[in-house]
Each structure stands twice: as structure tokens, then as C-alpha cells.
Chains A and B, each alone.
Chain A
Amino acid sequence: MSDKKNIFERFGESQVWKSIFRSGVPRTRRQRMMSVLNSVFLHLHPVRLPRHAVKLKFTWCMGGLTFFLFLVLTISGILLMFYYRPTAEYAYTDIIDLREQVPLGIMREIHRWGAHAMVITTWLHMFRVFMTGSYKPPREFNWSIGVLLLVLTLLLSFTGYLLPWDQLAMWAITVGGNMARATPFVGHEGPGAALLSIGDINFINMGADAKFALLGGRFVGEAALLRFYVLHCIGLPFVVMILMAVHFWRVRKDGGISGPT
């Protein structure tokens, strides 16, 4: 018997490897537990779980896939930002360039279809949580956080819809913006808006109401493009990431994945 080790085994025992993965290749029970505990990514999970909780037919891995799609969207979104300029002059042509000039130009497809997919997986995740009754105590609050995540997911999709600056984009956002104008009290065509006035001066008018705040103007124009761009790339992802952190933390703190007692 030669005790010669192959190159992988030698590498696995080198100082470099061991400094990165402290617990070594997870072969023994102890190593397996340590590799979850020692990794900042894996330790989102507990070390041990009840048997039903790791089954695909229970969680459908739907929350996990939603999160994964969010990561895919973040990465592909960053790549898109290299090429895209949010101005009325360049936005549309940059999108065409993305398709025609950029090698392997499917980044936009990945981003758009990934966004559609994330909306669907969020709905399905919510459906799963409902059907297993996992919103019942002590998980009530995490369900509410989830609802906010759902709303933000939809808003992320909605703000992104405008950015290609084509007919589809502009008019879809116009339909949405026209609803803002009817907001009670703060939309200039909303019920009660006329109450906020002194004499002949209406405080809520075309130049100062919910629609104007949303679009940065009376119509979907360049100001709206910039607003949606900033919200889409910075504002909403920032909030979503905070809420996701709370959501994951609460899954653990509420006692891990729900199950029968």
C-alpha cells in the first residue's frame, strides 16, 4: 500500500485550503455540522432539521428559488447597468445595442424572464405557506413581512418595465400613473382632493399630486424615467434586501420551518 496522495488530497490538506474551509471536506458527521456552521452563507440554515423540512414536496424550495432568482436578477441587472443610460435620448438605443452589439447578448432576456419568474415563484411560495398553515403563531409577523416582500417584488418589476423606453413601457406605466391621479385626497382627480383648498387655490392640482410625485412630471417623460431607474436599481432593492434579511432571520427565530407537533 502506498500512502501516496493524489493532487486533490494534497491540496485539501494545504494551508491555503484549510485557511478557507476550516472543517475540511465534509465526510464525518462533525465535519458536516461544522461546514454549515462555519460558512456565512450556509449558516442561514440550522445544522439539523426535522425530516419533513428537507423534503421538496413540503416547501417546494419555493422561497429558496425566489431568493435565488433575486440574486440572478441582481447580477444580470448590474451587467445591464454597464450599458444602459436612463435618458430619453439613449435609453431605447442602448437596449437595441444590448441585443445587437454585446457578445452573448441574452442578459436582457435573463433579466426580463427572471423577473417574470420571480413574480410567479413569490406567489407560489406564498401559496405554499398558506396551504401548510405556516402563518399561524408564532409566524404571523413573518407572513406580514412576506406580504411586503411581495408588494416590493411587484414594484421592482413595475419600475423596470419602463426602462426599455418603448411603446410597451411608456403606455403600461401611463396606465399605472393614471391610477395615482385618482388617489383619494392626494390625486388631482381623486375624491376629496377639492377639500384641500383655500378659496380658489387648490393645493392638489396637476402640478402637485400623487401622480406628479410618482412621475416627476405631468406625463411619463424623462423625469419619470430617471425616477423609475433610481427606484429600480437602488431604492427598492435596498428595501428588499433589508426585508429579506428580516424574513430569513425570523424564519430561524420563529423556530425554523414549520411542522406538525
Chain B
Amino acid sequence: MESFKDFIDFLTQPTLMLTLSMVTFPFFFPINDWFEKWNRRLRLNLLWTNAGLVVVMLGLALFFVVGVQDAEFRLIMLKPDNVPIVGLIFLVYFFMWVSMKQASDNDARLSSGKKPNEYHDPDEKVLVWPDLVYVEFISLILCMCLLLVWSIGLEAPLEEPANPAATPNPSKAPWYFLGLQEMLVYFDPWLAGVVFPTIIIFGLMAIPYLDKNPEGSGYYQFKNRRLAISIYMFGWIILWVLLIIIGTFLRGPNWNFFGPFEYWDIHKLEPLTNINLSEIIYIKLFNTGLPSNIFLRELFGFIVVFGYFLVFPPLLAKTVLKRLYLQLGNFGYGVFVFLLLCMLSLPIKMYLRWIFNLKYLIAIPEYFFNI
């Protein structure tokens, strides 16, 4: 039992958990034929079968049932405001199953020349009363019952009265913003709290104008939309939901990482040795001091950041994203690649931190301009 707990604590470290989920992700949602071959060879498509649903749900349930026997685990999972996130884990898998199962059914139908399951003779329609009204009515009653049971069973939290003099450790944002707070570890607030949320909102709004693929409009389907679905899933599951899970359950005092079975020790010390790119280059590499001219000092950072946004777009347009470039034209493609690169900059910055202890690529604290 103890070794099981240690193993889970080990596995859930952000470094390991994020790496594992990012590496395995394309096998679950194959982005090209090669990954699809492996998806089938590894039988990962069984995940979207009835048996898959039962196994995963029971597995998750078992994990939580065993887990709550442990006092530390109970403390963090059953905190009233955290309960919805436990529910979210089950719901996300369940609805991913609902959609992916129908998508793979339809993929099979379409490849054998049939119409998708949703297709019915357009002349044959059903009446809203009773067919739809009843479905809505029953879902609504069930939803209300669930909410009532939840409300009777679990008291809303109320802590000590607000006190500006006593900062709790850790201070957490509401759970749905914990993805952003987790980003604060890797980016300054002007990026993590303002620029990235804005980009996320505009990026989401831009989806219909960037995805010009006419396939799969109005029915579940995976195969002919795999690029779009993979990107969406990556952003939603890994960069949003997983970061929320990390932020809620695994971040303790001083925003240090704590495994789900680990005691929240306020005195846990994480050595803070993060350094800036300019320091790596001028001090470690060149062995000279930092130049006093800000632009000279941050020159390499600017080269890296501008290079990232200037070199990759044409490079990708000539190689893997060629078809997309021709389809979207200069402007559409530019917007798409910019959004994609912004999204990928988060995991990239994470790895730079984990591997090189890199704090900022560009660090101009004089003007609050740190990247």
C-alpha cells in the first residue's frame, strides 16, 4: 500500500505527468496514419467501446475509493470546493467516450460508403411535443435531483472572515482559473493573467473561421477531422483540465508540488535557482558580466522569441502544414500558426524551466517586460 502511494505521488509530479500525457496523447488521438496504425496495434481504440467505458470508470472509482482511505488524500479530494473537480474527471472521460464511440462508429460507416448514423430521411421528422419535450423534461428533473442531493449532502464552505492581514498559504484562485494560476509558475502575470486569456478567447472564437474542412458538420466523426480534434483535445484536456487538476489537488503551501498522498509540509523547500537566458549566456558561457545596455543584454532572448514566431510559420507552411497553408491563404494561416505557437509555448516554457532552470528568455524587470 505504501509503495502504491509512493508510486502515485511519484507519477503525479507535473514533470512526469505532463510528459507522459503529452507523449501518449497522439496515440490516443492519432494525428496521422502512423499514429493510427499504432493506435490500432496497441488496441487503444478499445477505450471507446462499452468494455472500455466500464473498465476505465471502475478503475477511476477504485482509485478514489482506495485513495480516500488515506488521510492526506481525503483532506484534499473531499474539500467541498474540490468535489466538482473529482466529478469533472469522471464526466470528461464519460463524454469523451460518448463522442469518440459515435465518431468511430461513423468513421467505419463512412469508409464503407454509408451515411453517418445521425442521417435520417429529411422528410421523416418527429414532433417536438412529445419527443423532445419529454427528453428535456427528464434531463431537467434528473439534473435538479442531483443538485438537491449534492446540496443537502455537502455544505458550502465558509472559512474565517476576510482578513487582509492574514495571507493563507497557498492562496488559490477559483478552481476554473487554476489553469491560469498554474501558468503563473512559468510566465509573468501580464502573460499568464492577461495576454494568454485574451488569446484563448479570440482563438476559440476564431475556430470556425480557421477550420475550413467541410467534413463532419453535424455528426460525430474523427478520421477526416483528426487535426482539428487533436488540437482541440490537446488544448482542452492537457493544457486546461489537467492543469486545473494539478492546481487543485497537487499544489500546496508556497505553490510547491505535493503528491495526492503527501503531507502538506509548509517547510518543504524547493531549491530556487532559476536564472535568465542572459545570465546563462553572458555569465556561464562567455564568463563576462551582464552588459549594462538593456538591449544588448537581452539580445539573445529577443532573437529566440522573434525567431520562434518568424521561423516556424514559413517552415511549417513548406512542410507539414502545406495543405493548410494553401487552403487558408496568408492571413488565415498566419493567425492559425500564431495561435498554435502560442499554445505550444506553454509546454516549451515548462520544459525550459524543468531542464535548464530557465526563468525568463527576455528579462526586463525595469519595464515589467519578462517573457
Contacts and interface: CB of A to CB of B under 8 A. Distances in A.
A154 B135 CA distance: 28
A243 to B, nearest CB: 13
Contacts of A57: 98, 102
Interface in B160-180: 160-164, 166-168, 171-177, 180
A124 interface: yes
* Shortest Cβ-Cβ A-B pairs, 3 listed: A179-B193, A140-B208, A109-B151
Nearest to A127: B95
A191 B158 contact: no
Nearest to B96: A127
B248 interface: no
A167 B166 CA distance: 8
A135 B132 contact: no
Contact of A176 (B131, B139, B177, B219): B177
A176 B176 CA distance: 12
A171 B168 contact: yes
Contacts of A64: 136, 139-140
A82 B297 CA distance: 60
A138 B27 CA distance: 33
Contacts of A182: 188-190, 193-194, 368
B369 A191 contact: yes
Interface string A127-153: 110111111110110011001101100
Interface string B305-337: 000000000000000000000000000000000
Interface residues of A, number: 101
Interface in A29-54: 29, 32-33, 35-36, 42, 45-54
Nearest to B371: A191
A92 interface: yes
Interface of A: 26, 29, 32-33, 35-36, 42, 45-58, 60-61, 64-65, 68-69, 72, 88, 92, 95-96, 99, 106, 108-110, 112-114, 116-117, 119-120, 123-124, 127-128, 130-137, 139-140, 143-144, 147-148, 150-151, 154, 157-158, 161, 164-172, 174-176, 178-184, 187, 189-194, 219-221, 258-261
A54 to B, nearest CB: 4
25 contacts: A49-B128, A49-B131, A50-B122, A51-B124, A54-B128, A54-B131, A106-B152, A109-B152, A109-B155, A109-B156, A110-B148, A124-B95, A127-B95, A130-B207, A132-B220, A136-B211, A151-B201, A157-B176, A166-B160, A168-B158, A182-B190, A182-B193, A182-B368, A190-B194, A259-B119
Nearest to B134: A54
Contact of A113 (B151, B173, B368, B369): B151
A73 to B, nearest CB: 10
B195 interface: yes
Contacts of B116: 260
Nearest to A174: B171
Contacts of A183: 190, 194
Contacts of A164: 158
B368 A50 contact: no
